[in-house]
Chains A and B, each alone.
Chain A
């Protein structure tokens, strides 16, 4: 039971990060390998605000979201838009954006190392809470609840509002989106920026219970990729289930076998998905 609860709580935070990557890849068609670094930047901001000003990470969220939105928007407009313009096919854009964002991820790691080379450790709400017959750290519970609230709001916005529907429309078919009067360029930039903001929020939350450092972004990029592919690109419900599965499996492996094997477990799931359900858990072939 402990494993299930902590696994689901971890999965909640992962789900938020995967939602961010899904917006960037599914809508803007940018496979952002710097996604994990944006997450770490969010974590670094939470750490820095807490250590320097005693600011609660929950308040830092409010500052991080608009900053990450603007930063990601600028990254899209300045660095990625030229690739979108020149790409003749979706495949070419994928290759170009992977190379470009891989480069950006190194740059961001460099910047963060120069800001803080050591681990970002701080203690926030590290008190035990009793939940369904087991004890979990309050920070994990709070992080998962906030992740669920943000993810839920995003889900409702995407599904119930007209601008949200326009974002999904671009994900389904940029050509058809143009035909109904959607400015595909603008919506793509917006979705990329929103994805960056969501990812950075995930980083803030994760930093309250995981010890991060400037170079751990790549691990989170891999996890987000695993979740997005397992859930099916563009499928938010799929991503949530996949994130919960990853959180459960990682926690189970760490507590029952060995904490050093969590990454191995993640890759094993990834491999299994690629072998047996390459279209995602709920995918029905090509969308």
Chain B
């Protein structure tokens, strides 16, 4: 279980995130909805040990403290982040990206099983193992990014706006795959602006505005909440 308690992030004098607390359990999808600049990426990067700002507060995974750890240590505790822009090795091959995903010590024993899992989830990658990642389409690169994260055997998978730049059909496929990943027992924390589709697969959700959590609830309640409909489901249509 990932527990984030009272995390604040500031960049110089500007505080972008103010005392945010959330939890994510294994086997559930939790979505954080918020507009551009609300602080979603700041939160995920702080948890993953990659913040450029000053982080206060606490976060733990399986009772191990995360804040103040370098990204490589955070991965070893069982958390994998697919950052905005995917963070893949563009000039390396698909196979190399996946092999590198299994670099953490915790992932070595299950490397074969995880690879089978990834190829089952993304059969397209099977005959693309030798392809250089940056020559692939956006949707395929997203598969590599998620596949690589799964290779590190995470308990909790963090995704920063994975649907960004994908066509509606690819978005659908992506969200369906995230649901499948959840069904393998992994916890998924998803940050999105695409409220309709992410709420459709999520179990729970949080609303974030200007660095504050302004609402929380089950995905169904959030989807039926008039305020949410107005802010996230009304004007934006996918």
> A166: which of B48, B75, B88, B103 is its contact (CB, 8 Å)?
B103
Number of A-B contacts (CB under 8 A): 66
Interface membership of B81, Cβ < 8 A: yes
Using A165-B99, A169-B100 as known contacts, say yes or no to A178 and B72 having CB atoms under 8 A apart: yes
Using A162-B99, A162-B103, A166-B100 as known contacts, say yes or no to A181 and B152 having CB atoms under 8 A apart: yes
The complex places the Cα of A115 from the Cα of B101 at a distance, in Å, of 49
Q: Looking across the interface, which residue of chain A has its beta carbon closest to that of B75? A: A181
Interface membership of A258, Cβ < 8 A: no
Cβ distance B150 to chain A, nearest Cβ, rounded Å? 12
Interface membership of A176, Cβ < 8 A: yes
Using A169-B89, A173-B87 as known contacts, say yes or no to A178 and B99 having CB atoms under 8 A apart: no
Max chain A Cβ within 10 angstroms of own Cβ: one of B75, B80, B103, B107: B103
The complex places the Cα of A162 from the Cα of B104 at a distance, in Å, of 11
Q: Give the contact-size bracket for chain A.
A: 10 to 19
Contacts of B149 in A (CB 8 A): 179
Interface membership of A127, Cβ < 8 A: no
Q: Looking across the interface, which residue of chain A has its beta carbon closest to that of B49? A: A178
The complex places the Cα of A91 from the Cα of B92 at a distance, in Å, of 24
Interface membership of B32, Cβ < 8 A: no
Interface membership of B76, Cβ < 8 A: yes
Contacts of B81 in A (CB 8 A): 179
Interface membership of A34, Cβ < 8 A: no
Q: Which residues of A contact B (CB under 8 A)?
A: 162, 165-166, 168-169, 172-173, 175-185, 287
Q: Can you offer 21 A-B residue contacts whose CB atoms are under 8 A?
A: A165-B99, A166-B103, A169-B92, A172-B91, A175-B50, A175-B83, A176-B87, A178-B70, A178-B72, A179-B71, A179-B80, A180-B101, A180-B152, A181-B72, A181-B104, A181-B107, A181-B152, A182-B100, A183-B70, A184-B72, A287-B90
